[in-house]
Amino acid sequence: MEFPDDCSTRLCLGFGPTSTGQRPHLRAVPVPLNRDDGDHVLWPSLSLGLLGTGTYRSTASAPDTGMAGKQLFLAESISMELHREVSSIFNNSSSCTKREPEGDELEKTVMVSDEEEECGSRILRRKKLRLSKEQISILEGSFKAHTTVNPKQKEDLARRLRLWPRQVEVWFQNRRARIKSKQTEVECEALKRRCETLGEENRRLQEQVQELKLLSKARQAVMMPPFLAQIQPPFTACPSCGKSAKSGGTFPSTTFFASSIPKSQLLPQPLS
């Protein structure tokens, strides 16, 4: 069984019965082919070799050795664990993305095509991990209790969900980000509604101002004698205060006259 070259090392981690059938090294522990048969054994061995040299036969294409399914499964499990450990070492210094294969994906993940696994030659294809409903529900449950995870909880969850601790961490980070994003969305909607309300209020007040202006003008017209309204300003500045008249404006200005009108008459009256 060979594992993919995840990190462009061009090296391959292999696990399985040796192709020669010989004891690979002195510390190797034999796996009996049959529970009661101590004479016929396989010599499982872990080795590092060049990619594609086929140090070990894939279990998928291996001839029927008679090895019990249970034993084969055990061997595969151990090998996957080893692969996981070794990969984690490489992944810490690599941008290659790996995921923990789950259940029936084990073989599929191990047997990925050369193109997909060859990150060394820049044919990188990040595998999209889709968490299962069960995994999500467990994560959600944990998130409800605490929106952050401490290292211990992370490890526990990772083990329980058969994920990498890093994946659990990332899920929590993204989950918090989604909550924040949703909150921002809600706040944005609230601000929009407030803006609309204020706009409406502003429009209503503008109308009120226009009405008051018209009312004020009408009152001034009543109080100002018609002959005065026709007088052209003989000067551009007030002789007493020295203030100049605004361009286009008339003098005596309305404020000039207004100053001589009792304040009570100038104040706007409530609209009927």
Question: What is the C-alpha separation between 20 and 43, in angstroms, rounded?
Answer: 9
**Which part of the chain contacts DNA (CB under 7 A), choosing from 20-28, 77-85, 143-151, 208-216?**
143-151
In angstroms, what is the minimal distance from the CB of 183 to DNA? Answer: 10
Q: How many CA atoms lie within 13 A of 151 on its CB side?
A: 0
Work out whether 167 is an interface residue with DNA (CB under 7 A). yes
Work out whether 238 is an interface residue with DNA (CB under 7 A). no
Residue 13 sits at φ, ψ, to 5 deg, of -90, 125
In angstroms, what is the minimal distance from the CB of 83 to DNA? Answer: 16
Q: Decide whether 178 or 243 has the Cβ nearer to DNA.
A: 178
Residue in 10, 40, 127, 217 binding DNA, rule: CB under 7 A = 127
Work out whether 160 is an interface residue with DNA (CB under 7 A). no
Question: What is the C-alpha separation between 108 and 128, in angstroms, rounded?
Answer: 14
Question: What is the C-alpha separation between 105 and 109, in angstroms, rounded?
Answer: 6
In angstroms, what is the minimal distance from the CB of 177 to DNA? Answer: 6
Which among 3, 5, 4, 7 has a CA at the least distance from the CA of 93?
A: 7
Number of residues that bind DNA (CB under 7 A): 29
Q: Residue 62 has which token pair? A: 């291996």
Within 8 A by CB and 6+ apart from 211, the residues are 271
Residue in 129, 138, 224, 238 binding DNA, rule: CB under 7 A = 129
Residue in 108, 128, 144, 263 binding DNA, rule: CB under 7 A = 128
Amino acid at 22: Q
Residue in 34, 121, 173, 183 binding DNA, rule: CB under 7 A = 173
SS3 letters for 51-79? CCCCCCCCCCCCCCCCCCHHHHHHHHHHH
Work out whether 126 is an interface residue with DNA (CB under 7 A). yes
Work out whether 183 is an interface residue with DNA (CB under 7 A). no
- Other CB atoms within a 10 A radius of the CB of residue 152 amount to 8
Work out whether 95 is an interface residue with DNA (CB under 7 A). yes
Q: Hunting for tokens 């790996």 — which residue is that?
A: 98
Work out whether 172 is an interface residue with DNA (CB under 7 A). yes
Work out whether 148 is an interface residue with DNA (CB under 7 A). yes
Q: Decide whether 3 or 171 has the Cβ nearer to DNA.
A: 171
Which among 72, 73, 79, 81 has a CA at the least distance from the CA of 159?
A: 81
Binding site for DNA (CB under 7 A): 95-97, 99, 124-131, 136, 148-149, 151, 166-167, 169-178, 180
